[in-house]
C-alpha cells in the first residue's frame, strides 16, 4: 500500500506562482505577424509632353489607373500597348517614389510620330465591311496629337474609289473627336432578269463632317451632316459575259437614272464588350446606322440598319461566331440606296 505526502502550503504557493507566470507570458507573447504587403501601388501618372492632346492620347491607351498594382511585367505590358498604337516613335516608362510608402508615380514620356507613311493592306469598317488599300498614305498626330489624316484608293466588295478621311480629338475625353470624310466611289449594283445577272455602275461622291462622342467605356455615337451626289449609269453590263454585253438600264429599271443631289444627316452608334486582345474570340458587338436624306427635287427618305455579332470561345484558339443584320428603307428611297438580300456571291441566290 502506498501513501502520498500531502502538498505543503509553500508548495501550493509555488505552483500557483508558476501557473500565473505561464499565463502572463502567454498573454504578453506577440501574435504572429501577418505577412507584410509589399505590393507597389500606382499613385498618379505624369505624362510628357504635358499638353492636353498628348495627355488624352496616352490616357486612351494606357491600361493603368491610380491604385493599380505596379511591377516590371505590368510596366512592360503598358509600354507595349502604347507602342502598338502606332502613334508614337518612342515610349519611355519609369517610376518615382510617391507621397506615401508603397506608392509610386509613373512617368510616361513619348515622342509623337508625325511622319508620312504609306498606307497598304486591308482595312475594315464595322458597318461597311472589308476593303483593300491599293495605294494610300496617312499622317498621324495631325492636326493635333491623336489626330489622323488618310488618303487612299480602296477596292472593296463591289465598291471602290478615292477616300480622304481626317479626325481630330477634342482633348476633353478619350474617343471624343471631330471627323471629316470626302470620297468619290463607284458602286456595283446588280439587276436580275430570270437567271441572268446584269450590273450597273453607280458613281457616288460625298462630303461629310461629324462628331464622335463616347458612351461610357464600351460605346460611342457619331453624328454626321453633309451633301452627296449620285449618278447611276444609263447602261447595264452582263456580269458573267466575257464580251461585256450591254443594254439600256431602262430595260430593267423603271426608276429614274438621272443624277441627283442630297442633303444627308446620319447617326451611327456602336457598343461592344469583346475581348480587348482577341476581339474575334469572345464577347459581343452591336452597331446601328440611321440616315435621313432630302433630295434636290423636294422628296425625302430615310434608312435604318442594325447589325449584331456574338462570339463564343471554343478553347484557346477557336471560336463560334454568330451574326444578325436587319435593314429598312422607307417607301421613297431611290432604288440604288436600298438594300439587296441575296443575289450573286451571297448566302442566297435569286432564281
Q: Can you give 128-192 as a three-state secondary structure string?
A: CEEEEEEEEEEEECCCCCCCEEEEEEEEECCEEEEEEEEEEECCCCCCCEEEEEEEEEEEEEEEE
Contact 234, 258 (CB under 8 A): no
Q: What is the pLDDT of residues 124-158, one digit of tens each?
A: 888 888 899 999 999 999 888 889 999 999 998 88
State in Å, rounded, how far the first CA of the chain is from the last one: 119
6 pLDDT above the threshold of 80:
no
pLDDT at residue 102 in the model: 86
17 pLDDT above the threshold of 90:
no
pLDDT at residue 309 in the model: 94
Which has more confidence, 261 or 346?
Answer: 261
- Residues paired with residue 256 on neighbouring β-strands, in sequence order: none
pLDDT confidence band for 278 (50 / 70 / 90): confident
Per-residue cell: 159: 465598291
pLDDT at residue 171 in the model: 66
pLDDT at residue 4 in the model: 46
Per-residue cell: 139: 499622317
Which has more confidence, 128 or 262?
Answer: 262
Cell 480629338 belongs to 169
pTM: 0.74
Tell which residue, 253, 256, 255, has the closest CA to residue 236.
253
- Residues paired with residue 265 on neighbouring β-strands, in sequence order: 225, 292
Q: What is the pLDDT of residues 227-248, one digit of tens each?
A: 999 999 999 999 887 777 999 9
Amino acid at each position: 500500500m502506498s501513501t502520498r505526502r500531502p502538498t505543503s502550503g509553500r508548495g501550493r504557493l509555488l505552483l500557483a506562482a508558476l501557473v500565473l507566470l505561464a499565463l502572463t507570458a502567454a498573454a504578453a507573447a506577440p501574435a504572429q505577424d501577418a505577412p507584410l504587403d509589399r505590393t507597389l501601388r500606382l499613385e498618379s501618372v505624369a505624362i510628357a509632353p504635358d499638353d492636353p492632346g498628348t495627355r488624352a492620347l496616352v490616357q486612351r491607351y494606357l491600361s493603368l489607373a491610380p491604385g493599380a498594382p505596379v511591377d516590371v511585367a505590368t510596366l512592360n505590358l503598358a509600354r507595349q500597348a502604347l507602342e502598338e498604337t502606332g502613334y508614337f516613335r518612342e515610349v519611355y516608362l519609369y517610376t518615382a517614389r510617391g507621397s506615401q510608402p508603397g506608392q509610386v508615380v509613373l512617368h510616361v514620356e513619348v515622342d509623337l510620330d508625325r511622319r508620312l507613311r504609306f498606307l497598304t493592306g486591308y482595312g475594315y469598317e464595322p458597318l461597311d465591311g472589308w476593303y483593300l488599300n491599293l495605294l494610300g498614305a496617312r499622317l498621324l498626330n495631325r492636326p493635333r496629337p491623336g489626330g489622323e489624316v488618310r488618303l487612299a484608293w480602296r477596292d472593296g466588295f463591289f465598291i471602290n474609289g478615292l477616300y480622304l478621311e481626317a479626325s481630330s480629338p477634342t482633348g476633353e475625353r478619350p474617343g471624343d473627336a471631330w471627323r471629316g470624310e470626302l470620297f468619290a466611289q463607284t458602286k456595283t449594283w446588280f439587276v436580275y432578269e430570270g437567271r441572268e445577272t446584269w450590273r450597273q455602275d453607280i458613281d457616288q461622291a460625298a462630303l461629310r463632317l461629324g462628331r464622335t462622342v463616347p458612351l461610357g467605356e464600351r460605346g460611342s455615337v457619331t453624328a454626321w451632316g453633309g451633301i452627296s451626289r449620285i449618278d447611276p449609269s444609263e447602261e447595264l453590263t452582263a456580269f458573267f459575259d466575257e464580251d461585256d454585253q450591254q443594254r439600256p438600264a431602262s430595260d430593267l429599271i423603271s426608276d429614274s437614272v438621272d443624277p441627283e443631289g442630297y442633303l444627308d444627316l446620319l447617326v451611327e452608334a456602336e457598343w461592344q464588350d469583346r475581348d480587348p486582345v482577341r476581339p474575334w474570340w469572345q464577347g459581343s458587338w452591336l452597331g446601328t446606322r440611321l440616315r435621313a436624306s432630302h433630295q434636290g427635287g423636294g422628296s425625302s427618305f430615310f434608312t435604318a440598319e442594325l447589325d449584331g455579332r456574338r462570339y463564343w470561345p471554343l478553347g484557346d484558339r477557336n471560336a463560334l461566331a454568330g451574326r444578325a443584320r436587319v435593314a429598312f428603307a422607307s417607301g421613297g428611297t431611290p432604288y440604288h440606296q436600298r438594300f439587296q438580300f441575296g443575289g450573286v456571291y451571297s448566302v442566297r441566290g435569286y432564281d
